[in-house]
Structure formats: structure tokens, C-alpha cells
Structure 1
């Protein structure tokens, strides 16, 4: 079956097969795609004994691939968390463990020794704690000189990108059409009509005109739209790419919008905390708290009775990929990413809360090691669990692929 002919009723099966294939590519890829296993561990007896953190917005799925360069509405660029499907009000220790697991699996995939993983986790703690210090409060941008070399290069690449770069990558050129095929599938008439309708709403019109000093009253119209087979996250959800024109004549500009269904989070949450009941509003609110650059570019809406969030894709938004790490880079990247996560948490806390959480993070620490026992034991347990689950997944996928 050609993927360009995939009908709405066939999407789930094709996406499930694609997800299984991707998760079989490496243990690190399996960790990224098996978020549910991580939550199950947190809910089990193995996940108990963690520090009791303040009740704040957390990413919920804080792996390496969900951190990267993000542009603001006024053109500033920073490294921030960039995915909030699972954001909830919960324990910030969960984000730290999820990041540590992702880094540990990346190190194993790069054939780095276990000693390197130990140093990476030590740097995770020191980088995270540095973000909770009083002198770090209020920081948004980073000094490029303090960035690890791979991240510094990624930020330079992001800063030099234009609409043409984004269009070439996403829709294979600047022509006002989304090409159907491997990545984009056709919408049915009902879906396309619904897309046209929501982009006539005030909030979506304002979102389209809010960036790059576009006129508030510039006309906005949908040029094309298609179902987006993007990663594994589209499995079971509505995901639509929308090509939008803003303005008229010589002033007309194009942009690409990402419309994604928001579903109930699986991440553990504080049951006493009040969160928006609408899942798209939950995502937008969490993003605004953790990643102000991205949160300021998102809008919650309704599409075909489903809760969706919409954001404009900018050329500067890139994903951090660390499939192959050198030892020195691995250690410095671990600390830098943990600092980014710590900063996202700290901006929600006052000075007294930061001081209390800082002490709690460092409890159960051995004199000779910076990584406390609660974090080290959690990562060791999770690595073993995910390595075994990855091999079982590969065996099952091999059997299914052979049939």
C-alpha cells in the first residue's frame, strides 16, 4: 500500500508499524518511544523513595530529544524544553530522572564506558542545582561561550536558518502546496473544512500575525493542509500540517502551522493541584511556565470536537540529536541540559522554595560522588529495565516483520 493513499481509517495501523520499527533501531530510540514504561516504573515500588519536590509544572517527558533551540515571537533564540504533550503539575524529580535515563542510554549507544555515565550523572546534578542558585534566577538566554561545542554549533545553525530552510525540509520547497507521500497524507473533506474554519477564528488569526512584525489586520488564509506522519507522536492522534498565507500581493508571506491533538497525560501528577481540564489548555499553560519562548507561540483550539494546540513552526526550532557522543562532550552536554531543565523549574519557584528544593535534590549524596543515591539507583534500575524491554521489543518486531 502506497503511503500517499493512506486513508483516515488506515492511519493507526500504519503509524503503529512505523513506531515499532523506529523503536527497534536502538535502545536510545526505544527509550524515547516507550514513555509509558517510564511512568509505570514511577508508579511502582521502584519509583518510590524519590525526593518530594515542590508541586510545579514539569515536562513529563524530559528526554534529550525534547530539548533544543527555540525562537521567541520577537526573534530571540534560546535552548529550552520543546515538547509538552505530557506536561503536568507534579514532582520535578521525574524530569531529572527522565533526562538522566535518556543521557545514560545515549552514552551506551555511543559505546562510552560506565565511568562516563557516572560522571554524566554527577554533572546532571551540579548543572541542575546551579540553576536553583539565587544568581541564576531570571535567566533566559545563555552565553554561547559557556555552551558545549556541539550545542554551540547547533545554536549557530539555528540562528542562520530562514523560511526557505524550513520549507525545503518540511514541504520540499517554497511552492504553496504540501506534497502528499511518505510524510503527508490526504485529509478527508470534513477534516479539511474544519481546518479552514478554525483558521478563521480570532485566536488563530492573531497567532499567524503575531510573529515577525506582521500587521495585526493582515488577511490570513489556508493554502493547503495534510495529515502529518511526524515521528511516533501522531499515533492515535490527529496531527495536521497547515500551510498558511498572510497578507496580499507582494507583501504575502507563508508559514507552516502544526495542529496537534492533545490527549490525557500519562505522566504522574499532583492530584491536589488544579490544572486546566481541557488538555490543549493544559499543554499551552505548561509550555508557558516551562518554556516561555514556545509557550508564547501556542494557542488552544477545538477541531472536529477534539482538543488541539496550534503553533507556528519557525526555522530556528531544532531538535538536539546526540546519537554519537564523545566522552568530553557527553559530560558537558549532560550538565548543560540539566541546567536548562533546572531553569525551567526554578522560574516557577521563589527563593525560599528554591533553597528547600536545592537541599532535597542533594540528599543521600556520598562524600566522593556528586550524584545522590536516589538518582543513581533510579537510573541503574531504569537502564536495566529498558535494556531488557528493548530486546524483547526487537524480537517481537522481528517476528512481526517476518510475517
Structure 2
């Protein structure tokens, strides 16, 4: 198991609750507010060191995206924050961490039952670690995003408290439920809209419902129309360097048939990581074309691909997204992964934390044309995926969103950690939430300073950037 709870289920409830109280002695609830930056902090240096294994020509794109705002910088700065969190008090209560639980790494996607569900949806950094780290990463992101949206300090605090209190009260509720009930719990998007309808203005309700309806169209068929064109009677991925580049263009000195022979072998290895029914499903599709595609902010520079598959005569598409999995940003501070493959690490963490996961989620290993071994995980590119537009949120909308994120994160942690011990530590008052809100604003101040340092590094040439892509 990725997270060892020392046979918590065999302990009495009283013993598990006592562990939570003991953890309060190690890290009092008010200590969650603490953060003092170390004198030798070098966030820019950490980011540049992290990038040494990434695609060099894509790094200016990453830097340009991080320079857009303090919030986009925050999205790309999981590693500096992990280093900072390692200096803060921790309770010793471990769970499977997302590792990068900022509010843009939550979103909606299709469940296998074809319902739109809301959950954590990014696991590149997942590892077991102190539960507080995910909560603090989420809370600080609310503070940073709230500032960017022009919210007052009072409004931001209400939003952060809403998220932190949602986490605490959800964990205490999960502590009273059978473990199987916790395991099956999920957040249905349409149910959530109904729940928060009274807190939202009528036009916001309509806008949200419109986004939900649009999400149902975000699938491989739409991606086919957007990303491909007809050429000589075949569907071909549209080249848009450096954002999208077919493999034939990336490796012009390698024979095309040799490239695709390797790619089919790689897909075969990935296919073996799927459960049998999904393996059968994937066998109905044949590989058409592969391209490298730039995605996200923090992920730019890792090797990410899109693979166009088809099960018919060009009318039954499936887009898979193999994405490189490198060492977690948490590894230096939480310990190495128990998995030999970082692709398997990501998949195992996702399956443990998510209520329902992509049916094509799997992993593989690739020796590239450059002779370097790399780990990948694979999922669908489009399956009703959508993210709420953070920049368009008003305070009440962001507060409702924070509650959804807090609940989802608590449910994810309750699956992997000892929910009864965690609930006991969190307690029956809002003391934990108040401390987290204090931390969030303190860290948002630090993020502003780090963003300014990153801007200065771009100006003096230490960081190469391009902002026109």
C-alpha cells in the first residue's frame, strides 16, 4: 500500500482518536499558521534545477506562461512550495498527497457511469506525505487567485475559511461513516449545482449550467474536429509548432515506419497495465498518428503526446494522452516512491485518491530515439473534462468552489489515511481553518515576492522566456 496506516482499522476507535489528540501535542492546531522563509531560499534556482530533464526548447514557453501573473507562477511553483512546507510544523499524520492541490487542479470529468463528477484531477506530484501540505497548497492558491480577482482581504478570508472548514467538516463526517461508504463517496456536478443554487445569482447558475452542457461535448469527436484535418483521404494531426508537432516532424532523420513500430510496442506495454475488459476495448482501436503537445503551465517541458486512435473508418476516434512522469516535487521531502516506475506512481496515487477514474488510465515505459529511458502515464485527452474559469469567479462563487475542493480533498485523504485520527486532530472548532487562513495569506505574500524574483530573473536573462505563444 502507498500509505501505511499501521493497521489503523484494527485499533479501537478510542485509540485512533487518541492518536489525533497526541498529534495536536506535536503540531498544535494554531501551528498550521506558521511559515518563516529561510534565509537561503532560491525558488528560481529550484525551478531551473528541476527543468534540467525537460525539453530545452519548450522551457521558454513554460517561463512565459508562469510570467503571466502571480497565480500562473504559483501553478508552476510546486517544487519551491514543497521545500517551504518541509520547514513547517507537521502533525505526522500521512495520507496519499496530490502534491499540487491548487484550485485549478480540481475539475469535472466523466465517470465510467457517464456522470459528470468533480474531483482532484492532477497527480504528477503524488506521494504519501503530511496531510496538511495539500490543504495548505489549496488554501494558498485561493488567496493568490482571490488577490488576482481583486477580492478584498475580508472576502478572501471567507473563501479560504469556506474551503478549510469544508475539509474539516467533511473529514469529521467521513469519520462517522463505514469505510466502504467513504470509498464510494463522490461529488456529482449536477447535484452540487443544485446544492449551491441558492448561493448563486440566477445568471451565474445559468452560466454554470451552460458550462456543464458544453462539458458533455468535450470528447474525442470534438478533439478530432479541432486537432486534425483531412489529407490524402486520411486524418492527420495539424502541426502548430512548438505547441503541437507530429512525430514525423520531430524526428525527420528516423524512418516513419520505425517510429510507428516503436510506438505500437509502447502502446502494447501500456495496454497490459489495463484491466482485462478495458484492454479488450482498447484492442478495437488502431493507431493513426502521434504528436507532441504542450499542456498546462507547470507541466510544460515534460514530454506530453497525443495519440489518435480509431475503431472504424475515421469516424470512431479516441485520443489518448501519454504524459511523461518524472520524480515528484515532493520526493526530496517525503521520501522516494515505492514504485519503480513514476508512471505507475502517478496511476496508483490517482486510483487511490479519486472516487472514479478514467477507464484508460495506465502506464508505460519508453526508450526514446535519444536512447534515454522515460516513464509515462496514459489517459484520455478529452472525456467531458472541463475546469471552472477561476478568473471569472466572484467571491461567493469562489467560496462555493472552495467548498467543493475542500470536500473532495478530504474524501481523497480519507481513502488513504486514517480518517478517524485525522478528524480527531482537526477537532470540533474552526481553529484549524483559522490557522490555515493565516498561513494562506502569509504564503500569498511569499508567492508575490517569488514572482517578482522570477520576473527579475527573466529580465536579466537568467530565465529564458517567450510570451507570444
Aligned to 2:236: 177
Q: Of 159, 166, 175, which residue of structure 1 is paired with 2:223? A: 166
Q: Could you say what secondary structure the match of 2:289 adopts?
A: strand
Do the aligned residues in 2 keep the contact of 1:68 with 1:320 (CA within 8 Å)? yes
Residue 195 (structure 2) pairs with residue 146 (structure 1): yes
Aligned to 2:439: 378
Residue 104 (structure 2) pairs with residue 58 (structure 1): no
Residues of 1 paired with 2:163 and 2:428: CA distance? 15
Residue 91 (structure 2) pairs with residue 42 (structure 1): no
1:402 offset after TM fit, Å? 9.9
Residues of 2 paired with 1:265 and 1:300: CA distance? 16
1:117 offset after TM fit, Å? 1.3
Residue 305 (structure 2) pairs with residue 240 (structure 1): yes
1:298 offset after TM fit, Å? 1.0
Do the aligned residues in 1 keep the contact of 2:308 with 2:320 (CA within 8 Å)? yes
Residue 173 (structure 2) pairs with residue 118 (structure 1): no
Aligned to 1:290: 353
1:2-401 alignment runs, 5 A limit: 12-44=55-87, 47-48=88-89, 50-53=90-93, 55-132=94-171, 133=173, 134=176, 137=182, 138-142=184-188, 143=191, 144-147=193-196, 149=205, 153-171=210-228, 176-182=235-241, 183-185=243-245, 186-188=249-251, 189=254, 192-201=260-269, 203=271, 210=278, 216=281, 218-246=283-311, 248-249=312-313, 253-267=316-330, 275-294=338-357, 296-304=359-367, 305-349=373-417, 353-362=418-427, 365-366=430-431, 371-373=433-435, 375-400=436-461
Once the two structures are superposed, residues 301-323 of structure 1 have per-residue CA deviations (whole angstroms, 9 ceiling, x without a partner) of 11113211111223301233302
1:346 offset after TM fit, Å? 1.7
Instruction: Return closer, same or farther for 1:155/1:92 CA change in 2, 3 Å cut-off.
Output: farther
Q: Could you say what secondary structure the match of 2:433 adopts?
A: coil
Q: Could you say what secondary structure the match of 1:347 adopts?
A: helix
For structure 2, the 5+ residue unaligned runs are 1-53, 368-372
Q: What number of residue pairs does the alignment pair up? A: 379
1:14 offset after TM fit, Å? 2.8
Instruction: Return closer, same or farther for 1:88/1:151 CA change in 2, 3 Å cut-off.
Output: farther
1:76 offset after TM fit, Å? 2.7
Instruction: Return closer, same or farther for 1:249/1:33 CA change in 2, 3 Å cut-off.
Output: closer
Once the two structures are superposed, residues 88-133 of structure 1 have per-residue CA deviations (whole angstroms, 9 ceiling, x without a partner) of 0112211111111111111000000000111112111221123220
Q: Could you say what secondary structure the match of 2:328 adopts?
A: coil
Q: Could you say what secondary structure the match of 1:323 adopts?
A: helix
Larger radius of gyration: 2
Instruction: Return closer, same or farther for 1:384/1:231 CA change in 2, 3 Å cut-off.
Output: same
Q: Could you say what secondary structure the match of 1:306 adopts?
A: strand
Residues of 1 paired with 2:361 and 2:68: CA distance? 32
Bigger mean CA deviation after superposition, 215-224 or 15-24: 215-224
Residues of 2 paired with 1:378 and 1:202: CA distance? 42
TM-score by length of 2: 0.72
Instruction: Return closer, same or farther for 1:358/1:273 CA change in 2, 3 Å cut-off.
Output: farther
Q: Could you say what secondary structure the match of 1:307 adopts?
A: strand
Do the aligned residues in 2 keep the contact of 1:263 with 1:307 (CA within 8 Å)? yes
